[in-house]
Amino acid sequence: MRPVILNGRQWQEIRAMLHQEHPRTVFMLRHKMKDVLGFTVREHTAWIDKPKSEYHKEVIDWQQRRTQLTNTSDPFTMLDWEPSKGHSASQIHLDFYSERKRTMFLLKFSEILAKKEY
């Protein structure tokens, strides 16, 4: 079963709502969280690739800048730097064990899950 992937702010908002409905012990013990809520929480760091067009634009900009810098006499220029191909992002994965509980979760928190950027 696919996990539900959230960013930090989405998880904070959902967790605050769940804390109002359930006692704290549900969140402290993984087996209790799995029994009551139907999922466990896993923190994950994912690598997000930049779109190729954006990366290539940065490479061309850097090549032009590098040409300008090699023509200067400044010894502190960073000629070995290159643009990154992506970045890492922290994510919260909710691993569900019940299809029914996953469906109810998606229905209940659909408004929060629809907000991609915070």
Q: What is the pLDDT of residues 11-29, one digit of tens each?
A: 999 999 999 999 999 999 9
| Residue 90 φ then ψ, to 5° | -80, 135
Find the helix or strand (DSSP H, E) in which 6 lies: strand 4-6
Q: Which pLDDT tens digit goes with each residue over 28-82?
A: 999 999 999 999 999 988 887 766 666 666 666 766 766 666 665 555 555 555 6
CA dist 97 to 35, 59, 102, Å? 9, 45, 8
Cβ atoms of 29 and 35 closer than 8 Å: no
pTM equals 0.68
Q: How far apart are CA 44 and CA 10, in angstroms?
A: 15
